[in-house]
Amino acid sequence: MAQKQETASHRSTEAQQEDETQRRQLRWCFFIILTIWTLTSIVTPIVVFCLTKSLYSFSLFSTLGPPIYLWYRFTKHVFPLDEKTFELEKIRIQVKAQNNKISR
């Protein structure tokens, strides 16, 4: 019986390692795609302006919005809050909740 549990836990450990490896690969793939998208969004309006001399080409900088948001989400996931910042956010939420109760 103990051997079956040990074998099952060993398999689950292997599965967790495999899952973590896949996550790491997906993060790298996401990082590369996001980097290419961001650089393309920066360079494209400049190249179009050089070719056309039209100031309207700078409106293409608005294509930076989606990759910037995705960078924000990606960095929040990769670099989580440290303990002090987490406690500070927790206190802010509590104070906000108390203020909402008082104002009602």
Q: Where are the domains of the chain?
A: 2-103
pLDDT of residue 10: 61
pLDDT of residue 51: 94
* DSSP result, the chain: -HHHHHHHHHHHHHHHHHHHHHHHHHHHHHHHHHHHHHHHHHHHHHHHHHHH--GGGGGGGGGGHHHHHHHHHHHHHHSPPPHHHHHHHHHHHHHHHHHHHHH-
pLDDT in tens, the chain (104 residues): 555 555 555 668 888 888 888 888 988 999 999 999 999 999 999 999 999 998 888 888 888 899 999 999 888 877 777 888 888 888 999 998 888 887 76
pLDDT of residue 34: 93
